[in-house]
Amino acid sequence: DWTMATFRDEAIASIRAQVGEGRVICGLSGGVDSTVTAVLLAEAIGDRLTCIFVDHGLLRQNEAADVEAMFAGRNDVIFNKVDAADLFLEALDGVSDPEAKRKTIGRLFVEVFEKEARRVNGDFLAQGTLYPDVIESVSATGGPSVTIKSHHNVGGLPERMGLKLVEPLRLLFKDEVRALGRELGLSELLVGRHPFPGPGLAIRHPGPVTREGLDVLRKADAIYIEEIRAAGLYNAIWQAFAVLLPVQTVGVMGDARTYERVLALRAVTSTDGMTADIYPFDINFLGRVAARIVNEVRGVNRVVYDVTSKPPGTIEWE
């Protein structure tokens, strides 16, 4: 795609012009946006880029290891991982209100990230801000708006630390970021990844988050995604994920009664996440996924499918 090749070259040139001989800090989440931002910066300024990856213990199965592996293979960038799972899970202990969860995670994230960033001699902070985020924040200041969910970002950190922002994706939509990622040589598996929210699995685990619940959720989610990929449906879906409900129901396995939790499956199509339709799976597909999850994941004995569009539902449950 010549357009993306041109965009890449221009973006690299403009990063070099903006940054000069300066140093850049970039936060990694494992998602497509921050990864493409980091790789673009690596191409532009090499080892004057330091990536910081805060593992808050709320990532999906293998996600932290995948992020690490991707950057371990590049010796042109400095990669710092902070293992902060204990800190986050202790702070979330007993917290069930969705906004309280989001605020706790957001506050801790900024604290951990800032502490780590202060050890790096940075002049700039790179962010994977996309065009829809730019329009959303402009329209939010232009008139009254309702905050449905507090979003996760680095807050006032750039001002506090005197860092200037580098936002090389600010004119792009999600599908263009994916095309740019391909242009930069990133794997299809990575650029095609479904979006994942900053607060992670905490908002897919209604009620207080527990380590045991997160383990159950990770296993069930991995089976669901594996089946979606095997059926060749992954790229037709905007987001698919499991939600572990704080509700137990009665079931039967072999000749024994079970009393375990309910797992909800969600899958939607969308172009920007602002509105969404449910993905119309074949009911036999859902039955297969449910059977696998109940058989393979201890702690779940019933699976339901969320058939609510956005609006009135939101994509995430919290």
Which positions make up the binding site for ATP?
Answer: 29-35
Q: Which of 33, 80, 29 has the alpha carbon at shortest distance from 59?
A: 29
CB-nearer residue toward ligand XMP: 206 or 302 = 206
**From 13-21, 80-88, 190-198, 217-225, span contacting ligand XMP (CB under 6 A):** 190-198
**From 175-183, 214-222, 288-296, 307-315, span contacting ligand XMP (CB under 6 A):** 307-315
CB-hemisphere CA count at 13 Å for 75? 0
Residue 294 C-beta: closest distance to ligand XMP, Å: 26
Q: Does 127 bind ligand XMP (CB under 6 A)?
A: no
Cα end-to-end distance, the chain, whole Å: 38
3: which residues sit within 8 A by CB, 6+ positions away?
A: none
Q: Which x/- pattern over 191-220 shows residues binding ligand XMP (rule: CB under 6 A)?
A: ----x-xxx---------------------
Give me the DSSP letters along 26-67. EEE-SSHHHHHHHHHHHHHHGGGEEEEEEE-S-PPTTHHHHH
Is 30 within 8 Å of 67 (Cβ atoms)? yes
Residue 105 C-beta: closest distance to ligand XMP, Å: 8
Backbone angles phi, psi at 290, to 5 degrees: -60, -45
Q: Sign of dihedral through CA atoms 151, 156, 159, 160? A: negative
Q: Does 310 bind ligand XMP (CB under 6 A)?
A: yes
39: which residues sit within 8 A by CB, 6+ positions away?
A: 181, 184, 186
In the block, residue with structure tokens 């905007």: 238
**From 40-48, 148-156, 218-226, 287-295, span contacting ligand XMP (CB under 6 A):** 148-156
CB-nearer residue toward ligand XMP: 210 or 314 = 314
CB-nearer residue toward ligand XMP: 167 or 316 = 316
Is 317 within 8 Å of 243 (Cβ atoms)? yes
Q: Does 136 bind ligand XMP (CB under 6 A)?
A: no
Contact residue for ligand XMP among 149, 182, 288, 292 (CB under 6 A): 149
Residue 46 C-beta: closest distance to ligand XMP, Å: 28
Q: Which x/- pattern over 234-253 shows residues binding ligand XMP (rule: CB under 6 A)?
A: -----x--------------
Q: Residue 130 and residue 211: Cα distance in Å, rounded? A: 33
Q: Which x/- pattern over 264-293 shows residues binding ligand XMP (rule: CB under 6 A)?
A: ---------x--------------------
Tokens describing residue 53 = 């990856």
Contact residue for ligand XMP among 60, 152, 193, 302 (CB under 6 A): 152
CB-nearer residue toward ligand XMP: 111 or 123 = 111
Q: Please calculate the CA angle 85-89-91 and round it to the nearest 5 degrees.
A: 120
Q: Does 315 bind ligand XMP (CB under 6 A)?
A: yes
In the block, residue with structure tokens 């990856």: 53
C-beta atoms surrounding 215 within 10 Å = 15
CB-nearer residue toward ligand XMP: 44 or 200 = 200
Under DSSP, the state recorded for 150 is P
CB-nearer residue toward ligand XMP: 137 or 248 = 137
Contact residue for ligand XMP among 23, 151, 182, 229 (CB under 6 A): 151
Residues in contact with ligand XMP by the rule CB under 6 A: 148-149, 151-152, 195, 197-199, 239, 273, 310, 314-316
